[in-house]
Amino acid sequence: MGAAFLELRDLRVSYGRVEALHGVSLRIEQGEIVAILGANGAGKTTTMAAVSGLIKPAGGGIFFDGRPLHTLHSHEVVRLGITLAPEGRRLFGTLTVLENMELGAFTLKDKRRAATIRDWIFELFPRLAERVEQLAGTLSGGEQQMLAIGRALMGDPKVLLLDEPSLGLAPIPARSIFASVREINRQGVTVLLVEQNARAALKIASRGYVMEVGKVVMEDRADALLANTDIQSAYLGRSKTS
Amino acid sequence: MEELFQQLTNGLAVGAIYALIALGYTMVYGMLRLINFAHGDLFTLGAYLGLTLLAAFALEGKMNGLAVGGALIVMSMGLVALVGYLLERIAYRPLRNSNRLTAVVSALGASIFFSNAIMLAYGARSQVYPGGILPTTAIAFFGVEIPLMRILMFIGAIALMLALYWFIHRTRIGSAIRAVAIDQGAAKLMGINVNSVISLVFLIGPGLGAAGGVMVGLYYGEIRYDMGFSFGLKAFTAAILGGIGNIPGAMLGGLLLGVIEALGAAYISIAWKDAIAFTVLILILIFRPTGLLGERVADKL
Ligand SMILES: Nc1ncnc2c1ncn2[C@@H]1O[C@H](COP(=O)(O)OP(=O)(O)O)[C@@H](O)[C@H]1O
Ligand SMILES: [Mg+2]
């Protein structure tokens, strides 16, 4: 087994005395969209937080291009090219759209590169371009998610971590977010996508992992997961057709 | 009319000092939700270091008075900034993840430590800043003579505050400070080293406090090891008045409190001067605990 682009090896994370991840292993190859599915409390957000360096693992390791990440601080992880658009978006609500994006580019020394990325984000999300001076907290839910993703992209990441980007969004804005994620990936950004909306996630992903109570219980190609009857009943709401 | 104008300008000048000190309380609170009780003592330390530096470099008379004053302020700011940095590393950072009361106790301990250290080093009796470093002349405004020193102190304090405001709002590091005040976790995700930002705030706040200390020494001519208590409490009141965590609020609160106090002392009773500040503090806490400008405190930093 060669080194993956991003690899989690037997990752264990505890909150106080309670272990939330009991040995999670994932592999993400360069250029992929990989989905992580699972019910509430399965440990998806904890996994993302560990990759970002927000939580120190109690065991196991995280490797990016063969380099250990789990010993780094979160700001160093960002510098290596891994950024997270966190669950609940965590925008700087009292700052403007533009100020939020500038903070996303905090680690980017090359001003011209930053301007290029900003233009690309405005192409991707024209709504943001119209609202640069608006306070982030006053945006609609869909616009806030666009900004959360745009802000994470401003750091020029190699890997974009997305934690529940469609959470709380109406179907149409949610669909537009998934379309944007696919477009971002086409531009060469590797994506690790956590979603409750399993069907939409699997439709844009190449592979998926299913987590239950702090463990990976299944791993397969996205189309195989979509066709899997267990997955359908547990996560895809079999009765629904899309 | 002249009396009013004198009191008003005096209130503004002293209020600018309160504002300068208040910034230290408000920035630390905005960042850590911690009241740095030692801040008033760092202000005192700044005043004493100014005196020591004056003697050590035998500055008096060597240069023009303004340059001496400026040099004392800059050097004292630098030294006290360093002390503030160490204070955070030693007394606050190790307690970052323990409960709030622990940090408060540590802050109170640091305050006692500094005021005692100053008393041991310099003595319990008040010390005198040599007069005549700064010109004692007065300038006429609309026929009223205002001491030049009062004007200089006001301009100096306001200039430092404007510089801070510019730094916070117009520079990359300044936006990092604002980001950390709003949401530390999100700031980390931007690649911001939160610990460095907190260290920076503990350099800036005490540095500004020290500038206030030297200015007070030059203005009043007399300093005492325990003056940080009343100045600190008034600056803290100013910070609450403006909305703690809010930088423009601290500036406004300081100026306002200075004016209220000066007018109160003139028209009610000089004996009530200190009580006025505390009355203001209690009234805000009862009627407008968020202060004049702050609704959700830290968001406004
Ligand atoms: N800050 C925290 N402190 C303590 N327990 C937590 C914390 N965050 C999450 N947990 C627990 O860890 C487990 C995994 O949570 P999480 O990673 O948020 O799951 P998911 O994102 O899949 O919904 C849950 O049991 C949750 O209660
Ligand atoms: Mg979650």
pLDDT at A32 over 50: yes
Q: Could you tell me the distance, in angstroms and rounded to a whole number, from the CA of residue A54 to the centre of ligand 1?
A: 13
Provide the pLDDT for residue B136: 84
pLDDT at A43 over 60: yes
Distance in angstroms (rounded) separating the CA atoms of residues B265 and A123: 62
Residues of chain B with pLDDT under 70: 295-301
Q: What are the C-alpha distances in Å from A213 to residues A35, A36, A38, A44, B255?
A: 17, 13, 9, 9, 57
Q: Kindly write down the DSSP assignment for every residue of A127-181, as one continuous string.
A: HHHHTTTSBGGGS-HHHHHHHHHHHHHTT--SEEEEE-TTTT--HHHHHHHHHHH
Q: Which of B229, B278, B277, B232 is nearest to B257 (CA)?
A: B277
**By CA distance, what is B193's nearest residue in A?**
A75
Contacts of A73 in chain B (CB under 8 A): 188, 193
Residue A56 — φ and ψ, nearest 5°?
-85, 130
Do residues A26 and A75 touch, judged by C-beta distance below 8 A?
Answer: no
Dump pLDDT digits (tens) for A80-100. 999 999 999 999 999 999 999
Per-residue burial over A84-102, b if 16 or more Cβ lie within 10 Å, else e, is bbbbebbbbbbbbbbbbbb
The DSSP 8-state label assigned to residue B130 in this structure reads P
Dump pLDDT digits (tens) for A155-168. 999 999 999 999 99
Chain centroid, CA A139 distance in Å: 21
Residue A20 — φ and ψ, nearest 5°?
-100, -35
Q: Which of A168, A164, A119, A112 is nearest to A139 (CA)?
A: A168
Where exactly are the structural domains of chain B? Answer: 2-133+145-287
Provide the pLDDT for residue B3: 86
Do residues A38 and A193 touch, judged by C-beta distance below 8 A?
Answer: no
pLDDT at A16 over 80: yes
Where exactly are the structural domains of chain A? Answer: 28-55+70-81+158-242, 89-156
How close is the nearest chain A Cα to the Cα of B39, in Å? 28
Residues linked to residue A24 through DSSP beta bridges, in sequence order? A11
Beta-carbon separation of B189 and A78 below 8 A: yes
Beta-carbon separation of A92 and B185 below 8 A: no
Beta-carbon separation of B190 and A79 below 8 A: no
Sheet strand arrangement including A18-28: A18-28, A6-15, A59-64, A67-68
Residues linked to residue A161 through DSSP beta bridges, in sequence order? A84, A192
Provide the pLDDT for residue A1: 56
Do residues A177 and A145 touch, judged by C-beta distance below 8 A?
Answer: yes
Chain centroid, CA B298 distance in Å: 19
Provide the pLDDT for residue B165: 96
In the A/B pair of chains, how many CB contacts fall below 8 A? 69
> What tokens were used for B21?
């000190």
In this structure, which residue's CA is closest to atom 18 in ligand 1? A45
Contacts of A53 in chain B (CB under 8 A): 188
Mutate to test the pocket of ligand 1, among A8, A11, A19, A46 (most ligand atoms within 8 A of CB): A46
Do residues B65 and B71 touch, judged by C-beta distance below 8 A?
Answer: no
Distance in angstroms (rounded) separating the CA atoms of residues B202 and B118: 20
How close is the nearest chain A Cα to the Cα of B201, in Å? 18
Provide the pLDDT for residue B300: 41
Which helix or strand (DSSP H or E) is residue A113 part of?
A: helix A111-124
Provide the pLDDT for residue B177: 97
Q: Could you tell me the distance, in angstroms and rounded to a whole number, from the CA of residue A15 to the centre of ligand 1?
A: 8
Q: What number is the ipTM of this complex?
A: 0.94
Provide the pLDDT for residue A238: 57
Q: Which of B19, B65, B66, B61 is nearest to B43 (CA)?
A: B19
Contacts of A79 in chain B (CB under 8 A): 191
Do residues B136 and B148 touch, judged by C-beta distance below 8 A?
Answer: yes
Mean pLDDT of A211-240: 87
Beta-carbon separation of B191 and A107 below 8 A: yes
Provide the pLDDT for residue B199: 98
Provide the pLDDT for residue B285: 85
pLDDT at A241 over 50: no
Q: Which residue has the higher pLDDT, B286 or A181?
A: A181
Share the mean pLDDT of chain A.
95
CATH architecture of B2-133+145-287: Orthogonal Bundle (1.10)
Any atom of ligand 1 within 6 Å of the Cβ of A86: no
In this structure, which residue's CA is closest to atom 21 in ligand 1? A45
CB contact set of A201 (below 8 Å; sequence gap of 6+) = A35, A37, A178, A193, A195, A208
Note the CATH number of domain A28-55+70-81+158-242. Answer: 3.40.50.300
Any atom of ligand 1 within 6 Å of the Cβ of A137: no
Mean pLDDT of A219-230: 94
Beta-carbon separation of A103 and B183 below 8 A: no
Closest approach atom of ligand 1 to CA A43: 17
